Structure 1
Amino acid sequence: MRVAMTLMWALLCWVVPGTVGAELVLPVKSQIRAVYGDAAVTRVTRWERLVTLSSDLSVSEKLERVNDFFNTLAFKDDIVVWGEDDYWATPVEFLGRGAGDCEDFAMAKYLTLIELGVSDALMRLHYVKYIPYDQFHMVLTYQPSSSAMPLVLDNIDKAIKPASARRDLLPVYSFNANNMWLSKLDRDGKAMGSSSRLSQWQEWRTRMLNKQMRRP
């Protein structure tokens, strides 16, 4: 079964600028089963169903459903899941293992919302410091207009809240498909150029394009 093609076209356009209308599909279910097992196929099927059933909802409902869906997965550090300190898993890898760290939660939500028609320009992946634990962390934000307070989608505080209510987060930088900013959660930040400067981001997108799945 394929996830709707808009998401796949968007991914290809990110990796190969100017490419429009090319087809990219997720690994077939038999491949997912061979790498991660039957439970992984069930999780991926639920993800596909989420996309299908949420396509006609309002943006606020899409945010809630996507946030709730991924927040049911387990948080585990990369060293536990992948045997290394920092690995950005694709959504298929994340769902395959059923566990991941903050980047995996944020990026899976981001990609799913793009598939559901939410504009990339209205979302940012925010690298922050989570003050209570003095640890670096990643969240997704959605800002419908330049004058609106961004909403924070997080796997620690699972309720979607305005950035003004998240004083436990200290922003470092943010990015989306094309750009980077030194930014605060609740306002525009200083532009830092293209997000292509982030090697892990580019590597993540390439693995999506090539339908790669890392084995446990």
Structure 2
Amino acid sequence: MLLAGMVLASVSADRAEQLYGPQVLRIYRDWQQLVLRLGREGTEDGRIREVNQFLNQRLRYMEDSMLWRQEDYWATPLESMSRGAGDCEDYAIAKYFTLRELGVAPQKLRMVYVKARIGGPSSTITQAHMVLAYYATPTAEPLVLDSLVTSILPASQRNDLQPVFSFNADGIWVGNSTAPNANVDRLTRWRQLIDKMKSEGFIN
């Protein structure tokens, strides 16, 4: 487990600016205030909804090829805030680590690669997409936090999404399996993401 024994930590605004320039502060300071406020008040359900809304509103969608000049790049939350943009993986990553910062247990959160039907559930056109799933309890139906859909809906109401695999710091699940099928360390981009976040100071 790549994050075992580690504690999430907020980076100071000065450190964020040192790393990514003053443009990161346009979102980062508001993100810090959100985390401080939600850490003091509200329910876990409320935190889920406010974090989803904040990041969906403050980041604009942009493909990696345009934003990073790479076919597939997993940005840290600070990198996404510095550009004010990201693709579906970047939204899911930012939501995951923000909710972890707020104390949501890691086993309640999974990033899910899906095949998304473009044009609705009856469409035959699909594309790869990533969302964040929240499990209130181990046996609960997950709620889907999506960068392209404002509402947070139960998975059963997202017939346009077909799960391929999901993961968090504890492992990788294939399809709808109930137990991890592999160790998350097998995901090279996840390991690279964690290394970048360590260097930023976002993870101790």
Give the TM-score taking structure 2 as reference length. 0.87
| 1:101 equivalent in alignment to 2:110 | no
Look up the SS of the partner of 2:185 in the other structure. Answer: helix
Aligned residue for 1:153? 145
| 1:169 equivalent in alignment to 2:161 | yes
Look up the SS of the partner of 1:157 in the other structure. Answer: coil
Give 1:34 deviation, angstroms.
Answer: 5.7
| 1:119 equivalent in alignment to 2:111 | no
Alignment coverage as a number of residue pairs: 194
Aligned residue for 1:47? 31
8 Å Cα contact 2:2-2:185 kept in structure 1: no
Look up the SS of the partner of 1:57 in the other structure. Answer: coil
| 1:71 equivalent in alignment to 2:71 | no
Look up the SS of the partner of 1:124 in the other structure. Answer: strand
Code of the aligned partner of 1:39: Q
8 Å Cα contact 2:111-2:130 kept in structure 1: yes
Cα separation, 2, equivalents of 1:20 and 1:35 = 22
Q: Which moved more, 1:50-59 or 1:95-104?
A: 50-59
Give 1:38 deviation, angstroms.
Answer: 3.0
Aligned residue for 2:70? 84
Alpha-carbon deviations, 1:114-148, whole Å to 9, x = none?
Answer: 11111101111101111115110100001112332
Give 1:44 deviation, angstroms.
Answer: 0.6
Cα separation, 1, equivalents of 2:186 and 2:28 = 30
| 1:57 equivalent in alignment to 2:42 | yes
Code of the aligned partner of 2:23: A
Cα separation, 2, equivalents of 1:140 and 1:150 = 9
Q: Which moved more, 1:137-146 or 1:60-69?
A: 137-146
Q: Which runs of 5+ in 2 are unaligned?
A: 119-124
Alpha-carbon deviations, 1:36-71, whole Å to 9, x = none?
Answer: 443321211111111001112101100111000100
Alpha-carbon deviations, 1:56-108, whole Å to 9, x = none?
Answer: 21011001110001001100000111000100000000000000000000010
Give the TM-score taking structure 1 as reference length. 0.82
Give 1:211 deviation, angstroms.
Answer: 1.2
8 Å Cα contact 2:65-2:71 kept in structure 1: yes
Q: Identical aligned pairs, as a percentage?
A: 37
Q: Which runs of 5+ in 1 are unaligned?
A: 1-12
User: Which gives a bigger RCO, structure 1 or 2 (Cα 8 Å, sep 6+)?
Assistant: 2
Give 1:172 deviation, angstroms.
Answer: 0.3
Give 1:158 deviation, angstroms.
Answer: 1.6
Look up the SS of the partner of 1:138 in the other structure. Answer: strand
| 1:179 equivalent in alignment to 2:171 | yes
